[in-house]
């Protein structure tokens, strides 16, 4: 999957690459100060156009991947019930499957602008409606998991990296690697069987209990929170590892830098040096790497929602695979990929504001 447990601080894959390896930064001049505004606009232009090209690539590949489809969409709609040739032709007509590929492609491009992505094969709803309905649930789950995993992971990772070779560091790296190696969906199954089936502490699946819960805000809130605990913890456990490992190696890179020696010489306490001096610097490369791993979050959401029947986009995608429901798959594919690309663009720009060194040199 997308998570690379060995991901390390940028520009140090195997040494030596130093001067020539950094292809992302356009060959510019190191002029801090003067003309920085123009340089920023140029930087913005490069990044935004790159993201735009990537988005166009996603839109095109969505069309071609889902037109290669092996299954028969008409049968997916009709189910196994016998069908007369007339009914078949009518469905093909409605879906535009009888048109030549070039016309279908033109229709597809036009639908991008009119935001009409077609109707689901299964329940005749607009696929965009389905998506917007489910989106908040996914945001709730991934947001909670992300905050948990990133907060705890960065905290633990910083402490582990500060004392290399200690028992704490070794055990935390071990735990992270083990969590990374566990399949998300399996972890979810084990968690359900222990905490829901055996101990009966949490609901087995879903997001709401339905009946038996009072209407007001607080009862509903508590009900959803109760359902949220296990899926959020499962998802957090799996993406947690990358934050620990990245933050740890990031801190390791900072150790031994002169400014830390100076801080020590000033007589600052050890954990003050770590918190106030090392961590802020180590966070910078972590931001980029976390943005690069953004796609992994969707991977995790897909598997977690499937196991827990959490009514979000991941479950919707899973249900669409089984049909296969092409318009829905196509829309969700574009949504997942597009969001990831935009998140990366955003991180690139933020990073420039966060790190003055990058502003000076690129």
Tokens of 353: 């504001």
- Counting contacts by CB under 8 A, is residue 34 touching other proteins? no
Return the residues of window 249-278 that contact other proteins according to CB under 8 A: 249, 252
Given candidates 2, 44, 131, 148, which one binds other proteins under the rule CB under 8 A?
2
- Counting contacts by CB under 8 A, is residue 53 touching other proteins? yes
Q: Which of 346, 343, 344, 318 is nearest to 332 (CA)?
A: 318
Given candidates 58, 97, 122, 135, which one binds other proteins under the rule CB under 8 A?
58
When the beta carbons of 223 and 305 are compared against other proteins, the nearer one is: 305
- Counting contacts by CB under 8 A, is residue 101 touching other proteins? no
Q: Helix, strand or coil for residue 126?
A: strand
Given candidates 4, 92, 99, 355, which one binds other proteins under the rule CB under 8 A?
4
- Counting contacts by CB under 8 A, is residue 29 touching other proteins? no
Would you give the binding string for other proteins spanning residues 120-159, x where CB under 8 A is met? ----------------------------------------
Given candidates 223, 242, 341, 362, which one binds other proteins under the rule CB under 8 A?
341
Residues 208/224, Cβ–Cβ less than 8 Å: yes
- Counting contacts by CB under 8 A, is residue 190 touching other proteins? yes
* Rg value, the chain, Cα: 25
Q: In angstroms, how far apart are the furthest CA atoms of the chain?
A: 86
* Least distance to other proteins, CB of residue 113, Å: 23
* Least distance to other proteins, CB of residue 302, Å: 6
Q: Label each residue of 23-84 as H, E or C.
A: CCCCCCCCCCCCCHHHHHHHHHHHHHHHHHHHHHHHHHHHHHHHHCCCCCHHHHHHCCCCCC
Q: Helix, strand or coil for residue 119?
A: strand
Q: Is 212 left (phi over 0), alpha (psi -120 to 50) or beta?
A: left
Tokens of 251: 């801190």
- Counting contacts by CB under 8 A, is residue 244 touching other proteins? no
* Least distance to other proteins, CB of residue 17, Å: 4
Given candidates 155, 195, 318, 351, which one binds other proteins under the rule CB under 8 A?
318
When the beta carbons of 279 and 296 are compared against other proteins, the nearer one is: 296
- Give per-residue burial for 49-63: e unless 16+ CB within 10 Å, then b: eebeebbeebbeebb
When the beta carbons of 33 and 165 are compared against other proteins, the nearer one is: 165
């Amino acid at each position: 999957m997308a998570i690379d447990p060995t991901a390390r601080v940028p520009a140090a894959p195997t040494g030596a690459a130093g001067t020539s390896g950094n292809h992302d930064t356009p060959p510019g001049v190191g002029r801090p100060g003067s003309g920085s505004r123009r340089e920023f606009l140029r930087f913005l232009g490069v990044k935004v156009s790159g993201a735009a090209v990537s988005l166009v690539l996603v839109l095109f590949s969505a069309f071609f991947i889902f037109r290669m489809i092996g299954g028969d969409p008409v049968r997916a709609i009709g189910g196994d019930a016998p069908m007369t040739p007339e009914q078949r032709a009518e469905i093909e007509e409605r879906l535009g499957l009888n048109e030549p590929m070039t016309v279908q492609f033109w229709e597809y491009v036009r639908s991008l602008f009119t935001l009409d992505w077609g109707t689901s094969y299964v329940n005749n709803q607009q696929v965009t409606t389905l998506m917007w309905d489910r989106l908040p649930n996914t945001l709730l789950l991934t947001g909670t998991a992300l905050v948990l995993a990133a907060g705890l992971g960065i905290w633990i990772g910083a402490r582990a990296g500060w004392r290399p070779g200690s028992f704490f560091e070794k055990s935390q790296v071990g735990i992270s690697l083990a969590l990374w190696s566990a399949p998300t969906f399996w972890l979810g199954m084990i968690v359900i069987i222990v905490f829901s089936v055996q101990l009966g502490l949490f609901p087995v699946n879903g997001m709401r209990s339905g009946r038996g819960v009072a209407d007001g805000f607080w009862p509903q809130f508590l009900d959803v929170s109760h359902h949220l605990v296990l899926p959020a913890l499962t998802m957090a456990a799996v993406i947690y590892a990358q934050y620990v490992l990245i933050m740890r190696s990031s801190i390791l890179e900072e150790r031994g830098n002169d400014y830390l020696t100076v801080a020590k010489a000033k007589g600052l306490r050890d954990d003050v040096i770590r918190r106030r001096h090392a961590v802020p610097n180590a966070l910078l490369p972590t931001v980029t790497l976390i943005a690069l791993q953004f796609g992994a979050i969707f991977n995790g959401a897909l598997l977690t929602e499937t196991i827990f029947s959490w009514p979000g986009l991941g479950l919707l995608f899973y249900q669409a695979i089984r049909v296969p429901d092409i318009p829905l798959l196509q829309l969700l594919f574009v949504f997942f990929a597009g969001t990831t690309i935009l998140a990366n663009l955003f991180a690139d720009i933020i990073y420039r504001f966060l790190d003055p060194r990058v502003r000076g040199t690129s």
